[in-house]
Amino acid sequence: MGQKAADIATISRISAVPAMLNVISDMTGLRFAAVARVTEDTWTACAVLDQLEFGLGVGGELDLTTTICHEIRGSHVSVVIDKASEDPLYRDHHTPRMYRFESYISVPVFRTDGRFFGTICALDPNPAQLRSSTIQSTMESFARVLSLQIEAEESQQRTEADLYEERGTAELREQFIAVLGHDLRNPLFAINFGAERLLRKHPNPATDNIVRHILTSGRRAAQLVEDVLDFARGRMGSGIPLQLDDCQDLQDALRQSVSEVQSVHPQGVIHADIGDLRGVRCDRARLAQLLSNLVANAVHHGSPGGPVEVSAQIDQGNFTLSVKNQGKIDELALPRLFQPYSRPVKHTPQAGLGLGLYIVKQIADAHGGELQVSSCEQNGTVFTFTLKTF
């Protein structure tokens, strides 16, 4: 966008400008009023009130040397003319004769840093009592208000442009994350497959512990890659993919998820009450992932030694899955709990990428379900996922 177009766009976005021009016309009786951008070379109308059919619209230009605004740009002084044909300074001036006006007023508009922007001007073929009125002081006040509005509008536009650029950068970053996560899958699969084969086919007491450590670390890295891919899918708009089915063994998958978290955290106390869940239409693996993330989060962030309570039931056509732990989430953290990289502030380093609850929310949304969290000192923290079964 060129500078002229940018200036016109800036003035057009200031809602007070049409009202200013209407007030000027009502106060003076002058039937043409405008906000003009005046540079060293051009006079351009940025806003116009034309009741004279003067023929100049927004974006219209005048030959700069034919205007009085050109002189105001040099003098920085307002010009007020009641009757040009009798005015000692302007009765022989070329501008009133060329544009056929008798009454005229124009005040300079400066930017907040002192640079000249242009003028607010008005004219009419008929004479008008302008000098004896308060119109000049009113228009000069309008000019100061307009200066502040221009600065505010341009500042907002710069902020929006920076935000747009940042969004573009973020999108490229997320695309890079997705590609990187995808490309890491193959080498990690090879590492894990090799470690499992060594343990099964070539056991060796001297090295088995090292191989098991490699396998555990490889599986952990593979899970992190899957979390990164799920994050990228959610952020780039495609969403987490689902394979929906009328699951007959959902309860088995959820029990397995709890068992796996328990094996990783043998010191944790996890109580699970998982009922008959046959017939829930869902992605079995994704709901198992949702539960696994919630239980792992509860073990990590709950009160040390406090039990984690898991419940999964179907009641009155609703599938409800809840995970409760002892402990309270800080109220300031609740609004951003499901945002990526969001974690409770602790002095000890945390494992993982901080994507667990973000992915839980993405899985819940992909299913069309509802995910809620409540947290207080008396009842602890409860995450509840609800999905209609019909």
Judge if 212 and 254 occupy the same domain: no
Judge if 219 and 283 occupy the same domain: no
Last residue of a domain, one of 139, 157, 175: 157
Judge if 121 and 170 occupy the same domain: no
Last residue of a domain, one of 124, 140, 157: 157
Range of the domain at 140: 3-157
Judge if 291 and 364 occupy the same domain: yes
3-state secondary structure the chain: CCHHHHHHHHHHCCCHHHHHHHHHHHHHCCCEEEEEEECCCCEEEEEEEECCCCCCCCCCEECHHHCCHHHHHHHCCCEEECCHHHCCCCCCCHHHHHHCCCEEEEEEEECCCCCEEEEEEEEECCCCCCCCCCHHHHHHHHHHHHHHHHHHHHHHHHHHHHHHHHHHHHHHHHHHHHHHHHHHHHHHHHHHHHHHHHHHHCCCCCCHHHHHHHHHHHHHHHHHHHHHHHHHHHHCCCCCCCCCEEECCHHHHHHHHHHHHHHHCCCCCEEEEECCCCCEEECHHHHHHHHHHHHHHHHHHCCCCCCEEEEEEEECCEEEEEEEECCCCCCCCHHHCCCCCCCCCCCCCCCCCCCHHHHHHHHHHHHCCEEEEEEECCCEEEEEEEEECC
Q: How many domains does the chain have?
A: 3
Provide the pLDDT for residue 345.
47
Judge if 308 and 183 occupy the same domain: no
Query: pTM of the predicted model, to two decimals?
Result: 0.48
Judge if 108 and 229 occupy the same domain: no
Residue 66 lies in a domain: yes
Q: What is the CATH number of the domain that holds 191?
A: 1.10.287
Judge if 139 and 175 occupy the same domain: no
Provide the pLDDT for residue 294.
93
What's the pLDDT tens digit per position in 228-286? 777 766 665 666 778 888 888 999 999 998 998 888 788 889 999 999 998 899 999 89
Residue 278 lies in a domain: yes
Provide the pLDDT for residue 356.
81
Residue 180 half-sphere exposure toward CB, CA atoms < 13 A: 13
Judge if 68 and 127 occupy the same domain: yes
Residue 56 lies in a domain: yes
CB 314 within 8 A of CB 276: yes
Residue 199 lies in a domain: yes
Judge if 301 and 207 occupy the same domain: no
Residue 33 lies in a domain: yes
Judge if 271 and 135 occupy the same domain: no
Judge if 186 and 309 occupy the same domain: no
User: 186 - beta bridge partners?
Assistant: none
Provide the pLDDT for residue 77.
95
Provide the pLDDT for residue 214.
85
Last residue of a domain, one of 157, 178, 193: 157
Q: What is the CATH number of the domain that holds 137?
A: 3.30.450.40
Q: What is the CATH number of the domain that holds 322?
A: 3.30.565.10
CB 308 within 8 A of CB 264: no
Provide the pLDDT for residue 351.
46
Can you list the residues of the chain whose pLDDT is less than 50?
Answer: 345, 347-353
Judge if 104 and 210 occupy the same domain: no
Provide the pLDDT for residue 212.
83
Determine phi and psi for 141, rounding to 5 degrees. Answer: -65, -40
Provide the pLDDT for residue 76.
95
Residue 360 lies in a domain: yes
Residue 240 lies in a domain: no
Provide the pLDDT for residue 89.
93
